[in-house]
Amino acid sequence: MTEKTRSANVDDGVDPTRRSMIKGAVIAGLAAASLPGPAESASTPPSRGAQPLIDPQTRFPNDQPTQAQVWPGLQRNMTPRPDCGETNYRGSGRLAGRCALITGGDSGIGRAVAIAYAREGADVAINYLPQEEPDAEEVIKLIRAEGRSAIAIPGDLRTEAFCKRLVAEAERELGGLDILVSNAGSGWFLPDILEHPSEKFDQVIKTNLYASFWLSKAVIAVMKPGSAIVFSNSVTAFLPSEAFLAYSATKAALVAFTCALAKQVAQHGIRVNGVAPGAIWTPMQVYFEAPANNVENLNALTPIGRMGQPVEMAPLYVTLAEGTSSFVTGSTWSANGGRQ
């Protein structure tokens, strides 16, 4: 037996089970060191050192001033503007070569997802209402700054004809479609059903639920195995609010739709999942005619002590779309600051 072999087998006084645990911890540590760190500037190279701990309570402010806008609202007119990762999301090629369609991609969560997808290597088409063009122009510039294709397709999702045209145009311009993020949503603060206009109920149902059905139907027909669909569900699906009757109903329906559709299309190699955000600082918070103290209430109701920012949602949408999440389908991931 050589000296090298003998030293490898000498009893070092460490219990074999503990030695195995230590070895596993070292391997896990090395693997973790290779993972991307917290969000940084897109141009910042990966850090080789330890990443600082970030207190989620103080990472973003919770003192948004009272403000209101006319529907559908513009992010550029909010104070402070939502953080969608414009300067602090750093990609690492997790979606390289993918082609994505994102509805509501001009602002809020949709904007954050569009920026993240582009920085992860995907080409992106965004849909939005014509009134939201100023916000959309900013997103298109940010996507193209990453060297990715960016397609702007304005239009109202409340008709099946437009949803079909949207998918067809996005697929044609991008050269394919393998990710759909059905994110656009609508909701109104209407605490009394006797004063709930039928036209607003119809608007919410068509935007949140019908559009998700129409878009899924159109995109699944052209998707290949390995593709992914991600729905923007909501905490209201699990904690329905009496003031958001139609919104809560549609989001609960979307959770069930997510699960059922995932089972139906699994045979095609297509995964379907959802993200259920809590209160997030987006234009919806300033247009849906809630009481003036709504922002203060939402900050107080969240255990972390503040509303979320769109950039905090983006990593979930990236993970659910990338190929390494191949066994994840039919799920809805909550991200609500601890509000259960």
The catalytic site residues sit at 247
Q: What is the DSSP string of 125-156?
A: EEEE-GGGHHHHHHHHHHHHHTT--EEEEE--
- Cα–Cα distances (Å) from 277 to 66, 86, 133, in that order, read 22, 20, 25
Residues 6+ apart with CB under 8 A from 77: 69
- As a whole number of Å, the end-to-end CA separation of the chain is 61
Strands laid side by side in the 123-128 sheet: 150-154, 123-128, 99-103, 179-182, 228-232, 271-277, 332-335
Helix (H) or strand (E) holding 16: helix 16-33
Residue whose C-alpha is closest to residue 274's, from 210, 229, 325 = 229
Give dist(CA 27, CA 333) in Å, integer.
28
- Do residues 227 and 272 make contact, with C-beta atoms less than 8 angstroms apart? no
- The two tokens of residue 163 are 């949803």
Give dist(CA 298, CA 281) in Å, integer.
10
Give dist(CA 62, CA 299) in Å, integer.
6
Helix, strand, coil percentages in the chain from 3-state DSSP, rounded to 5: 45, 10, 45
CA geometry: angle at 19 spanning 17 and 22, to 5°?
115
Q: What is the DSSP string of 76-99?
A: GGSSSPP--STTT----STTTT-E
The identity of residue 255, as a single letter, is V
